[in-house]
Amino acid sequence: MTKKARQADTVNEPSEGAVGRRVTMDKLAELAGVHKSTVSRALRPGTTFYQSPTAQRIRAIADSVDFQPDRYAASLRTRRTGTIGVLVPRLSDNLQAVFYESVVRACTSQDIVALVAVTGDDPVAEQHAANALLGRRVDGLILTSTRVNGEYPAQLAQRDVPYVLALRHNGTDHSCVVSDDRAGGYLVTQHLLELGHRRIGIIAGPDHASTAVGRRQGFMDAHRDAGVSVEPDLVHKSMFRWQDGYDIATKWLSSANPPTAIFAVNDEMAFGVVAAAQTRGLDLPGELSIVGYNDIPSAARPPMPLTTARMDIGALARAAVDSLRARIDGEQTANRTIPVTLVVRKSSAPPSFSAR
Amino acid sequence: MTKKARQADTVNEPSEGAVGRRVTMDKLAELAGVHKSTVSRALRPGTTFYQSPTAQRIRAIADSVDFQPDRYAASLRTRRTGTIGVLVPRLSDNLQAVFYESVVRACTSQDIVALVAVTGDDPVAEQHAANALLGRRVDGLILTSTRVNGEYPAQLAQRDVPYVLALRHNGTDHSCVVSDDRAGGYLVTQHLLELGHRRIGIIAGPDHASTAVGRRQGFMDAHRDAGVSVEPDLVHKSMFRWQDGYDIATKWLSSANPPTAIFAVNDEMAFGVVAAAQTRGLDLPGELSIVGYNDIPSAARPPMPLTTARMDIGALARAAVDSLRARIDGEQTANRTIPVTLVVRKSSAPPSFSAR
DNA sequence: TTGAAAGCGTTACCAG
DNA sequence: CTGGTAACGCTTTCAA
């Protein structure tokens, strides 16, 4: 018998992995001189019994021996695991990392755990990951993947799997938690128009991302309301990557009649635009105003603090978790929208005379 | 009875949360005309029985009905959960996000799940998080938190909790997976010395982070080997944040005799240095060479692609998972070191004459 | 090789 | 209010 195994002195020694805790409800019941079922009741809030002296005494004993119930055993009975799954395309993207971190925090305080699956934007991988998570018996799913427009959510609904769409939505679903992208796009564009810009380019993201579509809609609406027409050449679809911002900005800036301002629908791409402009030696923001979206941590940094739209990602994550919890409990939930504010920094200014 | 619950047609209806799958081994056994224990055996590789026609037939049936065993029930018997816990300070840091993502990928392929806890560098929160994870019965822990020098790992060892230290190590432990920080620091410094720099500043990170200490050691060793003395004023401790790089660089650059090159022990801080230099209107890399560490995705981007040291974070994550798995299986493991390479980009160059 | 039976640590039902 | 008991779905000894 190894030294390591010594402290587990049952004959039928559990092979390995029996980490830490040893106290069971049975032992606790013995200690308290009651039946284990009584212990079980004493530990679950909500009943009137929970308040009784007996129950309090039992809990005191439980605390004193640092009792931790075995959730696996409990889950076997209750069919609930106290876990949720979160599907994200990638964690190398700051916004998604922060979102997931916020979800984890929100969950921790409610004693639930959030399992993540990284899908890399691949619909097949996404499905696979979701199934793996479901195989792990998560109680529900938070989906942030880009291509939620597909049939996948419908499948989930059909299987009675509770889920919410976060940072994304599609037209049909009533379980979305998003920021007000249209309003955000509107705010940004209005800001630029008020500064005097009349040729504003938008690096608009992909059509399959509802966030991008909403921001573009806001861009269009702001132009319409201001009576300014949008130049079709200055509306450019893209992915969400830095490189897209860099490439598209480079193209525009080397054209005969470049825009005086560029709205990139996320900060990453806006940084790409900044880099493209700097590479060409442009004076910022005089010769080119640049606005992003999301207000990621690096957006505020010198030498070119970025004007951008901000949402409270923590609030969004909490709303998503709350919404999912409600759905797991069988309640209906409505869509939720988180407000967006404009953060004006150094990267936007009136167009210079020469650039006009 | 709600429409939702309809498909579960047992009288004793499980309250909620019974997501998806319904097939149990018992049902499967019925289908195959064998006993459930036989099914159980047919499903676990490694035995000779696993190869037998009977076993293959059973697995075929299992596949056809999309059988997924209930790991919670299994765990109740085996005392193993197939989960590990990962403690990270924050996911908003790209390196840590990518590390965790890599751990998740490594785990997924081995059918284990990685639960993350975000500690925010707070030792108390860390302990709390670890206990929560342990309460969830994770089989082991990967620790990347900064302050592993404390007594916490020893406590874990005492409780027979398998763990590995990743991205960090302390002197005493034999379960570390790290990159070769001293070698990396040496490479960077040697590169700068060979370019002709003689006044090199180092923004050295905190003393409680072994990575930082290793890199600084490499810095010192390279100087010693080159016969160049280190100016004490140009060795500056810090945290790991962008702001630290910015502040310290700003201080140095406004001094009477600024360094001609700065080595920041991570890329974030190196970007802070870049920003500080740009804010002061310095010509880069002519007037100041800057080198970082980690080669995060944004390091390669224009307009100032960063010279930096690169390690294979994916390999490191895989090594950490492998090492932990081995420890969970009761094996001893030695420390593992991942090699580091130098990536020379635009931000380092010989010192200009005027700066010398 | 296979079947039977005994748990793993909970929860939930049913009596008292 | 409490105790007994039967699951939950799986693994694992022990016999056959």
The domain ranges of chain B are 3-69, 81-179+313-338, 181-311
Which residue in B3, B13, B19 has the most chain A C-beta atoms within 10 A of its own C-beta, making it the best mutation to test that interface?
Answer: B19
* Exposure string for A35-53, b = 16+ CB within 10 A, e = fewer: eeebbbbbbeeeeeeeeee
Whole-number pLDDT of residue A159: 87
Of the candidates A129, A120, A52, the one whose C-alpha atom is nearest the C-alpha of residue A91 is: A120
Region class of B262: left (phi > 0), else alpha (psi between -120 and 50), else beta = beta
B303 interface with A at CB cutoff 8 Å = yes
- Measured from the Cβ of residue B301, the count of other Cβ atoms closer than 10 Å reads 16
Per-residue pLDDT of A229-286, as tens digits, reads 999 999 999 999 999 999 999 999 999 999 999 999 999 999 999 999 999 999 999 9
**Assigned token pair, B199:** 């006044």
DSSP 8-state symbol, B329: T
Binary contact (B91, A97; C-beta < 8 A) = yes
Q: How far is the CA of B77 from the C1' of C6 (A)?
A: 12
CA distance B258 to B250: 10
- Reported as a pLDDT band with limits 50, 70 and 90, residue A21 is low
- Mean pLDDT of each 10-residue bin along chain B, 356 residues long: 32 41 86 93 90 93 92 94 95 95 95 94 86 93 76 83 89 84 98 98 94 96 98 96 97 96 97 96 96 96 95 96 94 93 98 65
Query: 3-class SS at B273?
Result: helix
How many CB pairs (< 8 A) connect A and B? 171
Inter-residue contact A144 to A166 (CB < 8 Å): yes
- Reported as a pLDDT band with limits 50, 70 and 90, residue A17 is very low
Q: How far is the CA of A91 from the C1' of C7 (A)?
A: 42
Residues 175-204 of B with CB under 8 A from A: none
Binary contact (A159, B298; C-beta < 8 A) = no
The alpha carbon of residue B9 and the mean position of all alpha carbons in its chain are separated, in whole angstroms, by 46
In which element (H, E) is residue A236 found?
strand A235-236
> Cβ contacts (< 8 Å) between A95 and chain B: which residues?
none
Whole-number pLDDT of residue B21: 54
Q: Is residue B303 reached through a cis peptide bond, with omega within 30 degrees of 0 on the bond before it?
A: yes
A94 interface with B at CB cutoff 8 Å = yes
Contacts of B120 (CB under 8 A, 6+ apart): B89, B90
- Reported as a pLDDT band with limits 50, 70 and 90, residue A173 is confident
Q: Is the CB of B18 under 7 A from strand C?
A: no
Among the partner-chain residues A20, A76, A329, the one whose CB lies closest to the CB of B16 is A329
Integer CA distances (angstroms), A32 to A26, A60, A66, in order: 10, 10, 14
Whole-number pLDDT of residue B146: 62
**Assigned token pair, A321:** 């978790």
Same fold, B81-179+313-338 and B181-311: yes
**Assigned token pair, A135:** 């195989």
**Which residue's structure tokens are 């149990």?**
B24
What is the overall mean pLDDT for chain A? Answer: 89
Q: Is the CB of A26 under 7 A from strand C?
A: yes
Whole-number pLDDT of residue A1: 30
- pLDDT of A178 higher than 80: yes
Residue nearest to nucleotide C11 (CA to C1'): A77
Report yes or no on whether pTM surpasses 0.85: yes
Inter-residue contact B308 to B343 (CB < 8 Å): yes
CA distance B74 to A217: 51
Residues 235-264 of A with CB under 8 A from B: 242, 246
Binary contact (B118, A97; C-beta < 8 A) = no
CA distance A305 to chain B (A): 11
Residues 37-96 of A with CB under 7 A from strand C: 37, 40, 43-44, 69-70, 73-74, 76-78
CATH number given to A81-179+313-338? 3.40.50.2300
Residue type, A282: L
Whole-number pLDDT of residue B189: 98
Binary contact (B135, A301; C-beta < 8 A) = no
- Asked if the B181-311 domain carries CATH number 2.30.30.100, the reply is no
Q: Give the strand order in the sheet containing B336-338.
A: B113-118, B83-88, B140-143, B163-166, B176-179, B336-338
Whole-number pLDDT of residue B301: 95
Region class of B81: left (phi > 0), else alpha (psi between -120 and 50), else beta = alpha
